[in-house]
Structure formats: C-alpha cells, structure tokens
Amino acid sequence: MIDLLRHIVHSVRAWIEIRNFKHRISKRGGIVGKPLNLLNSNRISVGQKVKIKDGFRIECYENFNNKILNPSFIIEDGVIIGPYFTAFVASDLRIGKDTIFAGNVTLITENHGMNPESPIPYHAQPLITGIISIGEGCWLGQNVSVLPNVRIGNKCIIATGSVVNSDIPDYSIAAGIPAKVIKKYNFQNHTWERVLNES
C-alpha cells in the first residue's frame, strides 16, 4: 500500500512538472512534445518560439550521492530540438538562439567517477561535471553526442554520428569520433573550405 501511494505521488508530481514546463514554453510561442522523462525543470530557462519534439529526456540533477549541484540549462530563442533528445544536466548547459538538432542528439554535462582503485563502484563515485556551450545558429545532425567541457562556436555544423569531446571554433564543420574540424567557412571566397588535419 505504501509503495502504491509513493507511486501515485510520484506520478502526480511528474504530471504537474510536465504540465508546468509545457505551459512555460507555450506562453513564449513554443511547442513541446511528449517527454520520456523530465526532472527539475525549474533549472531550465527557455526563450521565445522554442520547439521540442516527442521523446525528449531532460534530467537536471540538484544533488548526486549527497553532493549538492547547481546546474542551469539555458535554451535561447528559436531553438528546434528533434525527437528523442537527451540532456543530462549536472553543470551549466547553454544552447544559442536558432540552433537546430536532428533526432537522438545527446548532451552530457556529467560523468561518473572513474577511479578503478576506489572500493566505491563507478556509479556511486562523485560525479565529474563540465559545462557545455553551443553557439548561435548551429546544426547538430542525427545521433550526435556532446561530452562535458565542450564549447561549440557560432554557425557550426556537427555531422551525423559525431562525438564532440573538444571545442569547435566558429563557422566550422566537424565530423567523426572524436569530432574533428573538416571544413571552415571562408568569408572572402564565400565557401566552405576543407581543413587538412595532420593527425
């Protein structure tokens, strides 16, 4: 009986949180689909005309294993987020205005501890956190993952299936695992030009 009551309370709280989040976005001219999970949406700041499609999972962690966290997730004006988007928010995360995401994009601002000598299992070790900042007018393709401590500049394109684990400068196209800059925009020639990687 107690477990049933806890489940009911949890379900009601989740429903209220989703309803309030959708209301906040719709008041600003945006649209939100059905979430898989939404946790601590009070940590999310949303701009005007944001669109988030079905199947999103946004989890903002306020504490983990008794460690207090203070993350913020800023989604600026005109952002379009494709289906099955995932964001694990334990540190600051920002998406610049007019950035678009294809489906299954994952943003990860945290990682479990990785000390193999500790008697504590990885999942119970303190989180390692790092910010993610994505500039204005970017385009992240299908199945892109962005890891902690990454800054993606303005007007960047990240190719399908890439894993971004280091900074990408403005006006770049990056691809691969890990993602490397393969083209940069030349404003004098008005074209994307190939970048020769020495590695």
CB 111 within 8 A of CB 131: no
Rounded to the nearest 10 degrees, how much is the dihedral formed by the CA atoms of 131, 185, 52, 42?
30
Exposure of 56 in the CB half-sphere (CA atoms within 13 A):
25
Cα–Cα distances in angstroms (integers) from residue 36 to residues 26, 33, 83, 110, 159, in the given order: 19, 10, 11, 20, 25
- Which of the four pLDDT bands, split at 50, 70 and 90, describes residue 82? very high
The whole-number pLDDT of residue 43 equals 96
**DSSP state at residue 40:** -
CA distance 109 to 95: 13
Q: Please report, as a single letter, which amino acid is at residue 157.
A: I
Which residues partner with 71 through β-bridges? none
Is pLDDT at 76 greater than 80 in this prediction? yes
Question: Cα angle vertex 105, ends 69, 137, to 5°?
Answer: 95
For 175-189, letters b (16+ CB in 10 Å) and e give beeebbbbbbbeeee
Question: pLDDT, tens digit, for every residue of 157-184?
Answer: 999 999 999 999 999 999 999 999 999 9
Is pLDDT at 198 greater than 80 in this prediction? no
The whole-number pLDDT of residue 55 equals 96
Hey, what domains does the chain have and what are their CATH numbers?
A: 2-194 (2.160.10.10)
Question: pLDDT, tens digit, for every residue of 15-67?
Answer: 889 899 999 999 999 999 999 999 999 999 999 999 999 999 999 999 887 78
Cα–Cα distances in angstroms (integers) from residue 39 to residues 59, 84, 158, 165, 193, in the given order: 5, 16, 27, 25, 42
Question: pLDDT, tens digit, for every residue of 94-120?
Answer: 999 999 999 999 999 999 889 999 999
Q: What is the pTM of this model?
A: 0.91
CA distance 132 to 152: 8
The whole-number pLDDT of residue 10 equals 61
Start-end of H helices in 57-158: none
The whole-number pLDDT of residue 6 equals 65
Question: pLDDT, tens digit, for every residue of 112-147?
Answer: 889 999 999 998 888 889 999 999 999 999 999 999
